[in-house]
Amino acid sequence: MARLRTEIPGPRSRELGERREAAVAAGVGSTLPVFVDHAEPGLLVDVDGNRLIDLASGIAVTGVGNPAPRVAAVVHEQVDRFTHTCFMVTPYEGYVEVCERLAELTPGSHDKRSVLLNSGAEAVENAVKIARCATGRPGVVALDHAYHGRTNLTMALTAKEMPYKRGFGPFAPEVRRVPGSYPLHDGLGGAEAARRAVAAVGRPDEVACVVVEPVQGEGGFIVPAPGFLPELAAWCRAHGVLLVADEVQTGFCRTGSWFACDHEGVVPDLVTTAKGIAGGLPLSAVTGRAEVMDAVHAGGLGGTYGGNPVACAAALGAVDTMRELDLNAAARRVEAVALPRLAALPGAVQARGRGAMLAVELASAEVAGRVAARCHAAGVVVLTCGTRGNVIRLLPPLTIPDELLAEGLDVLEGAVE
């Protein structure tokens, strides 16, 4: 259970915060300024001995647990063997094995290839590179409320101005933004929302790809209306446009299936993954149709650290853990417990989400901020999101003990009330 020994943040965290101010760039923010000493199942223990319930998982990264025993074991084994060679210089089996797992797990039974990278933004950027090379077209389509990263190109794809884009332009050209599906606010069915989206694209013969989050993350954990993604995929096929599914936050059991596209049987041409892929180590990937991925010339993809052997070992350990513990079923159990309680919160505009990717939209950013602050003060780590900042999002570890999830929801209910 959560246990607070000091106020939040405590004296040791405040001391470290002063050192941080003198050494770390002010542009790097933190949701909760406590410094973590170690983690236990479903808990973060700070340097003052406070035990905080973790309903954030490092933004959906530590879904397999923190620490995760199998991940820790294979990482130690790999570190003892070697830490780096650069796959582009002298390759190693772990990189190949991760790509084999991705070909097996990602949607579709077609022949696939993968490239391994470091971050979600890097994966999205490389997916666009690949799509442009394969199609010979420059245009990229993104949706309202999208979030795809902090690099120049992915900032162009991202909709939210503050804090992600303000002051950082000009951005990469040839990006077109179209309406997505936000059932609470647009009232449209999936097919109707998809028709509205593609009508705003313009000339499809100039478009290389449509980049879409199957459940929008930073935009507000927006689940599109049923039929939206299949209709969008059908339009892409009809016009030779590649569908890129950004599964960075939704992938690896987070929504109760291996990937969120699985819920409606959507098979994208390219899938980007990161976050939950490696149990806390930096790794990302682009996986796609073999003929699309292999359209890029040798040397056109890669990076010094992409597919680092330690991160690859962690990914293999994480996937083994997901299978052994059936974390898809665990995510569905989280949804069954938490979503009804979120829907019953006083002042809830809408509760929504899939699996262990859940949110409640509140009346305003001010209300959401006050609720989050009260949760933090009571020792529960929650996050906000939404283009208007008015959404509380929950991303608990998929391995969170039932009693900690219930206690965290109790605290959230008390904060709202």
> What is the DSSP track for 190-217?
HHHHHHHHHHTT--GGGEEEEEE-SSBS
Mean pLDDT calculated for residue range 357-380: 97
pTM of the predicted model as reported, rounded to 2 decimal places: 0.96
Quick one: average pLDDT of 212-233? 98
What would the mean pLDDT of 291-316 be, rounded to a whole number? 97
**How would you classify the pairing of strands 51-54 and 380-381?**
parallel
Q: Please give the DSSP secondary-structure letter assigned to residue 219.
A: T
pLDDT at 297: 97
Structure tokens at 371: 């609720």
Closest by CA position to 103, among listed 266, 258, 311, 317 = 258
Instruction: With beta carbons less than 8 A apart as the criterion, state whether 175 and 93 touch.
Output: no
Mean pLDDT throughout 358-374?
Answer: 97
Residue 47 in tokens:
């340097």
Distance CA 70, CA 76 (A): 10
- pLDDT at residue 208 in the model: 98
Average pLDDT for 220-242: 98
Rounded (10°) angle between helices 309-324 and 327-343:
70
Position 271 confidence tier, pLDDT thresholds 50, 70, 90: very high
Report whether pLDDT(79) > 90: yes
- pLDDT of 136: 98
Q: What is the mean pLDDT of residues 100-104?
A: 98
Residues 65-82, mean pLDDT to the nearest whole number: 97
pLDDT tens track for 17-42? 999 999 999 999 999 999 999 999 99
Residue 88: what pLDDT?
97
- Which of 46, 62, 53, 54 is CA-nearest to residue 8? 46
**In degrees rounded to 5, what are phi and psi of residue 86?**
75, 110
What is the reported pLDDT for 1? 77
Can you tell me the mean pLDDT for 332-360?
Answer: 97
How far is it between the farthest Cα atoms of the chain? 62
Local confidence band at 192 (pLDDT 50, 70, 90 cut-offs): very high
Q: Which residues contact 16 (CB under 8 A, 6 or more apart)?
A: 35, 47
Looking at residue 314, its pLDDT comes to 98
The whole-number pLDDT of residue 2 equals 76
- Give the pLDDT band (50/70/90) at residue 403: very high
Number of other CB atoms surrounding residue 64 within 10 Å: 30
The residue-averaged pLDDT of 286-296 equals 98
Query: Under a CB-based contact definition with an 8 Å cutoff, are residues 163 and 29 in contact?
Result: yes
What lies within 8 Å, CB to CB, of 392 at 6+ separation is 359, 360, 362, 368, 371, 372, 382, 383, 384, 412
Confirm if 278 and 309 have CB atoms less than 8 A apart: no
State whether residue 52 is helix, strand or coil.
Answer: strand
Selection from 308, 324, 260 nearest residue 116 by Cα: 308
Q: How far apart are CA 259 and CA 107, in angstroms?
A: 7
Work out the angle between the directed axes of helices 309-324 and 93-105 (0-180°, nearest 10). Answer: 40
Using only C-alpha atoms, the chain has a radius of gyration, in whole angstroms, of 21
